[in-house]
Every structure is written in structure tokens, then in C-alpha cells.
């Protein structure tokens, strides 16, 4: 009985000391104070209770070292899993939409750069914990957004984002949603946006901007009896003004509207003197850019678009629209 009690006390002392060691699990255990003091404890206990403690203590020590290694390896696996940009998908909403959102977010955060190849369908399905069908549908949605390029027999690649990724879908939306008075709606949007854009552009324009605007004006003057060419140079004139603001968002916002201008301008040019007035206002705008007269440029652009609004209303009335349709 006496021997059993001493044996139990010995084992308890060693296990207490080794339990302290486990608390240093996030440190290097072999550099910890507790670990270095462990053998001192073993020696002290051995001094009082005999050499048998060495075998017992070393057995416990080996047990805890193995346990520590297992925990560390498990932690490394957890870290590796957490470092993935993708998480397992829950079932509350459409799986394909969740997969699409996570991949889109990874692209936005530049985890995948333009030109990078995404993991294959099988690998993505495994990472997300979903079927390959859900992954395939998610990739189709990303392709529809212009974020990835699906190349048959090669894989799925992140595309280089440019203005067309935004402009083309917005152009289609505007074209379908504006209704039968769409040209007038577009003109009125321009009327409250472009005068201020022009004011800012004058303040930030370079010599190259001014030269380009004058060149486009000269082309409009030369081809004033050729509506197709005239409209083309007119659109380029307004595009350059938006670019001259030095604000990268302005061209992105305005470009879908400019893409619709060929419809708009071709209708307004059917009114008498509309082409001559447009050329006159463009000439005045060029002069404002040359003299850096921002306030005058605001006024001229407002007059230009106000006259265009009158022309488009006259056009709509000529094809049977009422005042109610145009309000």
C-alpha cells in the first residue's frame, strides 16, 4: 500500500508538470521554461522517491511529446484550410450563386489576377463541397459578367477588366428600359450631367485634349452634309470631354449614353438647322477650352443640349407622340 501511494504521487507530480508544458502549445516546447524545468523536476522527485521515477517520467514525457506533435500537425492542417480563398457552401440559398459570389470576391481581392487559370471544376467542387453542376453554373454566371473566359479544352481564365465589361451590359439595359421616349430620357440625363462635366474638363484639359476637340470639330464642319460621319465625330467630341475630366469614373458612367447617341443624334438631325446649330455650339466649346473659360463652357453645353431637347421633342411630335408621352 505504501509503495502504491508513493507511485501514485510520483505519477501525479510528473503529469502536473507535463500538463504545464501543453499550455505552451503555441510556443516551441523545447525552448519553453516549463520544458527545461521538467528534467529538474524529474531529478528532484527521483532524489526523494527512487530511480523508478525516471522510467515513469520519461514514459509520460514521450506520451506528451507525441501528443504535442499530433496537435501541431492538426493545427497546421487547419491553417492550410483557412488560407484557401474558398469556404464550404451552406444550403440556404442557390449553391451556384454562392460559389459565383466567392469566386467573384476572390477575383476582386486579386487572389486570382487577369490571365490566371482558375482551379478545375472537380477541384472547385471539392473545395466548396458542392456538385460540379453547381460549379459549372457559377462559372457561366462569371463568364456572363465578363470576369472569366471559358476556353473549351483549356480551362477557365480570369479576364482583363476594361470599360466594355461595364458599358455593354448597361447599354443593353438602357436600350431596353428607357421606353418609347428613350431618346428624350437620355437627352435629359445628359442635360443635368454634361454641363458640369464640361466645366470640370475645361479646368483639367491638356493641350492634346484641346487639339483633339478642335480636330473633331473641323471634321464635323467638313462632313456636315454627311450625317453618318458627322454623328461619329460628334460622339468622339463628347467622349473626349468626359475623358478630359481626369476622373476615370466619368467615362465609365457616360460611355453607355454615348453609345446610344447615334440613335439620338440621327433623329435630331432630321430637324431643320439642327446640324448647323450643333456645329456652332461645338465651335464655341472649343473656344472655351482654348481660353480655359469653365463657366462659359458650362453655359454653352447647357444651351447646346437644351436646343437638342427641343429638336427631339419636335421629332417625337412629328411621329404622333403627345405631350403626355413626353412629360
Q: Is the pLDDT of residue 53 over 80?
A: no
Q: For residue 239, what pLDDT band results from cuts at 50, 70 and 90?
A: very high
Residue 183 host element (H or E): helix 182-204
Q: Are residues 49 and 140 in the same domain?
A: no
Q: Is the pLDDT of residue 257 over 70?
A: yes
Expressed in angstroms, the distance from the first to the final Cα of the chain is 105
Q: Rounded to whole angstroms, how far apart are CA atoms 229 and 236?
A: 11
Q: For residue 119, what pLDDT band results from cuts at 50, 70 and 90?
A: very high
Q: Rounded to whole angstroms, how far apart are CA atoms 177 and 173?
A: 6
User: Could you tell me the pTM of the whole model?
Assistant: 0.58
- In the chain, how many domains are there? 3
* Percent of the chain at pLDDT exceeding 90: 38
For 310, the domain range is: 166-318
User: Average pLDDT of the chain?
Assistant: 76
Listing DSSP states for 80-105 in one string gives: HHHTSS--PPPSSS-HHHHHHHHHHH
- CA torsion, ordered 156, 160, 166, 172, to nearest 10 deg: -60
Q: Are residues 134 and 154 in the same domain?
A: yes
Longest distance between any two alpha carbons in the chain, whole Å: 120
pLDDT for 222 equals 92
Q: Are residues 189 and 142 in the same domain?
A: no
Nine-digit cell string for 36: 527545461
> What are the pLDDT digits (tens) for 4-30?
555 555 555 555 555 554 444 444 444
183 vs 117, which has greater pLDDT?
117
What does the pLDDT average to over 195-215? 97
- CATH number of the domain to which 286 belongs: 1.20.120.530
Residue 260, in any domain of the structure: yes
Q: Are residues 194 and 261 in the same domain?
A: yes
Q: Is the pLDDT of residue 56 over 90?
A: no
> What are the pLDDT digits (tens) for 77-98?
444 444 566 666 555 458 899 9
Q: Rounded to whole angstroms, how far apart are CA atoms 242 and 217?
A: 16
Range from 77-91, 173-187, 215-229, 313-327 carrying the lowest mean pLDDT: 77-91
Q: Are residues 70 and 133 in the same domain?
A: no
pLDDT for 324 equals 53
Residue 323, in any domain of the structure: no
Residue 38, in any domain of the structure: yes
Q: Is the pLDDT of residue 51 over 50?
A: no
Amino acid at each position: 500500500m505504501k509503495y502504491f501511494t508513493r507511485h501514485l504521487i510520483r505519477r501525479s507530480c510528473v503529469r502536473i508538470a507535463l500538463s504545464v508544458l501543453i499550455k505552451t502549445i503555441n510556443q516551441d516546447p523545447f525552448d519553453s521554461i516549463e520544458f527545461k524545468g521538467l528534467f529538474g523536476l524529474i531529478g528532484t522527485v527521483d532524489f526523494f522517491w527512487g530511480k523508478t521515477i525516471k522510467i515513469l517520467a520519461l514514459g509520460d514525457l514521450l506520451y506528451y511529446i507525441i501528443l504535442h506533435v499530433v496537435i501541431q500537425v492538426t493545427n497546421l492542417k487547419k491553417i492550410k484550410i483557412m488560407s484557401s480563398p474558398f469556404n464550404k457552401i451552406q444550403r440556404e440559398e442557390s449553391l451556384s450563386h454562392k460559389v459565383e459570389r466567392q469566386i467573384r470576391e476572390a477575383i476582386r481581392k486579386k487572389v486570382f489576377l487577369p490571365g490566371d487559370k482558375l482551379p478545375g471544376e472537380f477541384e472547385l467542387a471539392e473545395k466548396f463541397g458542392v456538385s460540379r453542376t453547381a460549379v459549372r453554373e457559377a462559372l457561366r454566371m462569371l463568364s456572363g459578367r465578363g470576369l472569366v473566359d471559358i476556353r473549351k479544352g483549356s480551362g477557365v481564365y480570369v479576364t482583363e477588366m476594361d470599360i466594355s465589361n461595364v458599358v455593354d451590359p448597361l447599354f443593353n439595359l438602357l436600350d431596353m428600359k428607357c421606353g418609347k421616349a428613350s431618346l428624350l430620357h437620355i437627352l435629359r440625363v445628359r442635360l443635368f450631367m454634361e454641363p458640369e462635366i464640361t466645366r470640370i474638363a475645361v479646368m483639367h484639359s491638356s493641350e492634346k485634349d484641346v487639339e483633339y476637340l478642335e480636330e473633331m470639330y473641323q471634321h464635323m464642319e467638313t462632313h456636315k452634309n454627311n450625317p453618318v460621319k458627322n454623328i461619329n465625330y460628334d460622339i468622339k467630341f463628347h467622349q473626349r470631354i468626359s475623358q478630359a475630366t481626369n476622373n476615370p469614373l466619368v467615362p465609365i458612367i457616360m460611355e453607355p449614353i454615348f453609345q446610344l447617341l447615334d440613335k439620338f443624334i440621327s433623329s435630331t438631325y432630321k430637324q431643320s438647322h439642327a446640324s448647323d446649330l450643333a456645329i456652332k455650339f461645338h465651335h464655341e466649346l472649343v473656344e472655351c477650352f482654348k481660353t480655359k473659360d469653365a463657366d462659359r463652357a458650362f453655359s454653352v453645353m447647357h444651351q447646346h443640349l437644351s436646343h437638342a431637347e427641343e429638336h427631339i421633342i419636335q421629332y417625337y411630335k412629328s411621329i404622333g407622340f403627345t405631350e403626355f408621352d413626353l412629360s
